[in-house]
Amino acid sequence: MINLEENINSKPLRIAILGTGMIGEVHRRSALLCGATLVGAMASTPERSVEMARRWHTEPILTPADLTTIAPDVVHVCTPNAMHAEHVEAAITANAHVICEKPLATSISVAQRLTELAHQRQRVATVPYVYRFHPLVREIRSRVTAGEFGRWQLLHGSYLQDWLLSPLATSWRVEAATGGPSRAFADIGSHWCDLMEFVSGERITSLTAATSITVPERPVKSEVSFQKSSDAGQTRKVDTEDAATVIFKTRSGVLGSVLISQVSAGRKNRLWFEFDGERRSAVFDQENPETIWLGGEASAEILQRDPSYGSSEQRRLSTLPAGHSQGYAQCFENFVADTYASIRGEAREGLPTFNDGLRSAHIIDAVIRSARSNTWVDVTASL
C-alpha cells in the first residue's frame, strides 16, 4: 500500500493553478521556486486554458471536475472572487490542499462553508495575506509580544493604489457579480486589517465606514485584468467602491482608522501603518519595506532589515543579505514555502489560513453594512 503522507514528504508537491492572470503567474513563480511541479492550469475558457498550459509547459484543465483525474497535492485558486467557492470545493473533493486568493468568498456564509469543509477533510487551506511575511513586520510583531510598545493608544494607516484612477481602466474586479459587493476594501482593505490584527494583537469589534465611487462608469470588462483602453467604447455603471474610510474600535477599546483607495494618483501599492503605544510607536511602509520607524518620546530610530540581528522570525524570513532589497515577491515565496511546509507536517508561525479568510469576511461584511446604513455596526462573531 502507498503511504500518501510519505509520498508528500519525499517528492515534489504536484500543484494545479486555477486562474492564469497576473496573480496566477505570481503563484506559479513562487510554487516553482519552492520546488513544486506544475501538473495543470485552468484559464477563463477551455481555449485559453490550452493556450496558457502550452505557455506554462503543463497540461490544460478544462473544468474544475478534471482535478479529480489529475489528483494534485495542492490547488492554487486564483480565479475571480465569485468562483472561489466552486473551485475550492472541487479542489477539496479531489483531496487536495488549497491556497485560495483573498477574499476567500464574497459572503460570510460561503466563507464559513469553505472553512468548515477544509477542517472536516483535514486539508491545509491558506489565504495569501502575504504582507505578514515582510521580515520587519515580524520584527514589529515580536517587539509587540515582548511588551516594548506598552498599551496601544491608536492604530491607524492607509492602503492606497492608483490602478483605477483613469476612467478608462477596468477589470472583472469592478463588477459586483464577479468581484463581490465590496471591491477596494475587500481587495486591499482586507490586507490592512489582517496585518493590523496580526501585528498588534487587537481585534476589531465595531466600526463605522463610508465608501465612494469616484468614477461612475467604466468600460465593459475584458478578459484582461488592469486593462486601460484608449477608447472607452461601451461602458457600464460602476457598482463597487473606489475608496473607503473606516473608523473602528477594538476588543480592548483602542480607537483606529484606515483609508483605502484605488484612485490615489502616484500611489502604486502603499500599504502604510502607524501603531502608537504608551511607550513607543512603529511605522511600516510596504513600498519601502527594508526599514521601519520606531519612535519614542525622547528619540526615534530607523531600523534596517538584517538577517544578522533581530527576532528569529525576522531573520528566518530574511532570505537575502542586508542591503539587498526584499519585497513582495519574497513575501509571496515565503508564504507559499510555509504553506508547503505545513502540508508536510512542519509547524510555521503566522501562516494565514481559511480561519483568517473567514475573519476577513466578517470585517468586510461589517464595512458594507455600515456604509449602507451610515451607522456604527458590530463585527459579528468569528474566529
**pLDDT over 50 (residue 223):** no
Q: What is the pLDDT of residue 370?
A: 98
When pLDDT is averaged across residues 66-70 and rounded to a whole number, the result is 96
**pLDDT over 80 (residue 292):** yes
pLDDT in tens, 87-133: 999 999 999 999 999 999 999 999 999 999 999 999 999 999 999 99
Q: Which domains does the chain have, with CATH numbers?
A: 4-130 (3.40.50.720), 135-326 (3.30.360.10)
Q: What is the pLDDT of residue 2?
A: 37
Q: What is the pLDDT of residue 9?
A: 72
Q: What is the pLDDT of residue 379?
A: 97
pLDDT in tens, 255-283: 999 999 999 999 999 999 999 999 999 99
Q: What is the pLDDT of residue 1?
A: 35
pLDDT in tens, 320-365: 999 999 999 999 999 999 999 999 999 999 999 999 999 999 999 9
Q: pLDDT band for position 222 (50/70/90)? A: low
Q: What is the pLDDT of residue 231?
A: 53
pLDDT in tens, 163-181: 999 999 999 999 999 999 9
Q: What is the pLDDT of residue 228?
A: 55
When pLDDT is averaged across residues 20-40 and rounded to a whole number, the result is 97
3-state helix, strand, coil in the chain (%, to 5): 35, 25, 40
- What is the DSSP pairing of strand 377-378 with strand 97-100? unpaired
**pLDDT over 70 (residue 366):** yes
Q: pLDDT band for position 227 (50/70/90)? A: low
For 290-318, give the DSSP string: TEEEEEESS-EEEEE--TTSS-HHHHHH-
Mean pLDDT of the chain: 94
In the three-class reduction of DSSP (H, G, I as helix; E, B as strand; rest coil), residue 85 is classed as helix
CA distance 295 to 297: 7
**pLDDT over 70 (residue 7):** no
When pLDDT is averaged across residues 307-324 and rounded to a whole number, the result is 96
CA distance 345 to 8: 10
For 115-169, give the DSSP string: HHHHHHTT--EE---GGGG-HHHHHHHHHHHTTSS-SEEEEEEEEE--TT-STTE
Q: Which class for 231: exposed (0-12), middle (13-18), buried (19 or more C-beta within 10 A)? A: exposed
